[in-house]
Structure 1
Amino acid sequence: MDVDITIALKKYIRRTCAVLFILIVCIFYIIIRTAQTNDAVIVVEGQIMHRIDNILAPNSGTIEALIVEDGGFVEEGTKLMTIRNTLSDEDLFRLQQNVDLSKRNLEQLQNGSIGSAQRSIHVDENNRDLLEAQDRMERMKSLYEMGAISAAKRDEAIANYEVIKSTSSYSSPVSMKISADAKSIEVAERQVKAAEDALKKAKAGTETVNIFSSKAGMIIELPISSGDHVQAGDVLLQMNIAEHPWIEAEVNGEDVDKVYLGQLVRYRLARMEVRGTVQEISDMEGDNDRKRVVISIPPDESNLGEDADHIKLYFMP
């Protein structure tokens, strides 16, 4: 009976030693593997970046109602503010001038005497081209004053007139009159109506314009307040677009050479582990020892309502 107990005890000891040996080997393996992994993984901090959208004033006016606040998050199509149109005396004078010029242009087209005090030109009857060139030149001058054409078009008409004039022979006085075509008169009539409508609308001064957000995002700068006067093109607000954000990080020292395009990067967003890849690597301005690295954010995680600083990034080997 004692022999059986001894044999059983020896078997137990041998098994225990074997288990302990395996356990020790596993522990050493885990320690070594962890040390190797820690040496290979690059850990840096990054920041979520967004495209910035500037909302501009479509025209001059006064902020009648400001609905959003700095730092607020807005969805696509959200009403941001209301602007009441206003125009300065200079703007009204310019609009009135456009009406006068457009009416003068129409009258001259209808009378066949485009913008010239000297409409009876002493030319040979065969020199009709000269009179037509002068008519076009005067019409282009009027349209340029209205802002309907560029200076290049006006100068082209003047140069064409001068060329024809230099090759024309003057002889017996002949008074000629060129009738404008129906299409030119129709265009001039539309210009008169458009100029008059613009002036009428400006004088009314009661129109309001609602400004809406074209994208979802967070307002990061709101330089205006209710009651402020703004000019056309002024920045009303800036916002970070929520769609398609990315992460930027700086990598330096020995880690610069360990980062490559397509490299897997692990990080956490909203307490969830996320995996992205290195999309772009570029030099920092004036420093070749540092790299700017862009890391992707998966589409499922891209609709973020808040910025996130100090994101821990793990660049996998």
Structure 2
Amino acid sequence: MEKDITKKIKPFIIYSVPIILLIAVVAIFGVYKWNQGQGIININDAKLTSSKVMVIAQNDGTLTELLVNDGDKVEAGQVIAKMKVVVTPEQIEALQKAYDEAKVNYDTLEQQVKASMVVSQPVVTSSSTGNVAAAQARLDAAAANKQKMDKLYSIGAVSATQYAEAQSEYAAAQSALAAASTPQVVEQQASVSSAPSKELSEALATAQIQLNQAKAALDQAQSDDNFADITAPVSGIIYLTDFKQGNELKRGDVFINVGNTKNLWVEAPLTEEQYAKVHQGQFVHYSVDDMDLTGTVLEVTHQDSEDEENKNLVTAAKISFPDELKDKVLPGADVTVQITIDR
């Protein structure tokens, strides 16, 4: 037999429905007030900005060529300018002294290497025309190989071990020719080559490099054609200064800036009223080069302007830019920004 429960739930329905309706009204009102509390700051003159790396003159001289224009994109290591370097007599004197010291050091080590490579021991030898000719041929080949290895080693194309082996063979060939040229059969002291120690070989190799560098620096300083290539320190965008081609440069002058394209952010100028509403961490929607992007406010800094007409402007809010898109844009691009604020 079914029971009629209508009478039991009727009071519940009567009292619960108004409560549910009240909760709904409160929720709707809360959402409405929250939406009313939200606002948007629109900024149409923001810019895509990058950190700048200064290109500084390392010596006094003349800016003879500017190989880039303002706004050009360059790669790290690319030659962007040339300058004729002014070298003083004092600088040349110092370079000459450095070369002389490097030469003495190299000659000393070379003699030590040669001495360590030759060991005297008694042998019985006899000379003949055939032996002398063979020894001479060996010496000629060793001399040619030594000359070739000297050049290769000076530019780092062969190892110190290969270089030392060529020196050793040359010394041995000299000894062999001397022995073959003896006119009679006698027991005598002959020179037998041996490899120099690793430490001595490395010391000679280092001395060779230092000598080559000192010679190159001295030759460059003494040359009338004393020009230097100026290269971009980072990949980025060129920002020229007031220096022009043909201007004189002093050591320490900043004559070019390079905007580092690996370090980008959006910079949005704010009025005093906007500045009071913007803070770190706020959500930002912005458009650049037909791309719609989002980010956050990284920093807001205030700076009084010396320009009377713009005295109410403050430094832009610094807004994040995604790393994965840095190769698709250029610093200086126009950006439109919408910053979500709390009223």
TM-score by length of 2: 0.46
Structure showing the higher strand proportion among its residues: 2
TM-score by length of 1: 0.49
